[in-house]
Structure 1
Amino acid sequence: MSGAPGGGKILILATDSCAYPGANSVGQAHSPYPANTYILRVRSPALFPERFYLDCFRKGIGGILIMSCGEECPYEGAYKALARRVDAAYQLMKAHGLDIRRLRLTAICTVCNRAFLKEVNDMNALLEEIGPPEFRDAA
């Protein structure tokens, strides 16, 4: 496993019904992924307010992957609410001069090993390229 020394940590919000079992299957397969990755098992990422993401970036998280069930979410309307929340988070990020590529919403199923690894490796490569987040005061 390699990490991104200059890019920062990657936080993954993984839904307990889809993405977390997918991440677990990656671990069971002993597939390597960057060591700067931290997985948080969540019931539904739609529960996190927009400011949560800004707070994470302020505290040293370089990138956030929201791995959800997508349209297959067991909670009615949660995925659409999550998509709206991420759009609102993007607007806050822009206001603070943050590259919106630092936050990514993706659907990961229980056996999506390749997709999980691709998302993590892509985010790691992006963070190596753009470095740690730098804030500016909102306009």
Structure 2
Amino acid sequence: MSEEFKPKILIFSTDFISDLAIDLTGLLHRHYPATTSIIRVPCSSMIRPDIILYAFQCGFDGVFVAADGTDCPFLKDCSDRTAKRIAEAVELLKKHGIEPERLKMSAICSVCVEPFLKHIHDLYEKVKKLGPVKKKTE
């Protein structure tokens, strides 16, 4: 009898914006899948496409970028830069045979507990249906 697939999700969270919402989620005793890991970054625009690919190569089944949106304290064009990097990451994932549906980005404000939970649960369920990342054979 095989074990049920429980996707591993990596969340990139920003120090001053989305990380506060994730912390608040815990303080309110709201739950998201235990198979998630969080990496804090100063600004979502610094998450390079190759780092996203590397997360999948290291065994993660899904990646969520909790972006700063227009509230970034570092860059006025953070949203545009992050969106461009995510678009580049989608192309890189396709090139490596990884479904782009495994990657999601959304702006999460410091009090956006419900939207954060919805995004994580939706990504988890989507990735669960897709199954584990298939290793590309060369």
Q: Does 1:65 align with 2:64?
A: yes
Question: What displacement does 1:22 show?
Answer: 0.3
Q: Aligned equivalents of 1:82 and 1:119: distance in 2? A: 17
Which ranges in structure 2 are unaligned for 5 or more consecutive residues?
none
| 5 and 37 in structure 1: CA distance in 2 versus 1, 3 angstrom threshold | farther
Following superposition of structure 1 onto structure 2, how do residues 23-62 of structure 1 map, counting pairs within 5 Å? 23-62=22-61
Report Cα offsets for 1:60-95 as digits up to 9, x if no partner.
Answer: 011111001212222222221111111011011111
Identity %: 31
The answer as to whether partners of 1:96 and 1:137 remain within 8 angstroms in 2 is no
3-state SS, counterpart of residue 110 of structure 1: coil
Mean CA deviation greater in 128-137 or 60-69: 128-137
Q: Aligned equivalents of 1:98 and 1:134: distance in 2? A: 7
Matched residue type, 2:116? F
Aligned alpha-carbon RMSD (Å): 1.7
The answer as to whether partners of 1:66 and 1:105 remain within 8 angstroms in 2 is yes
| 101 and 7 in structure 1: CA distance in 2 versus 1, 3 angstrom threshold | farther
Match of 2:106 in 1: 106
The answer as to whether partners of 1:94 and 1:100 remain within 8 angstroms in 2 is yes
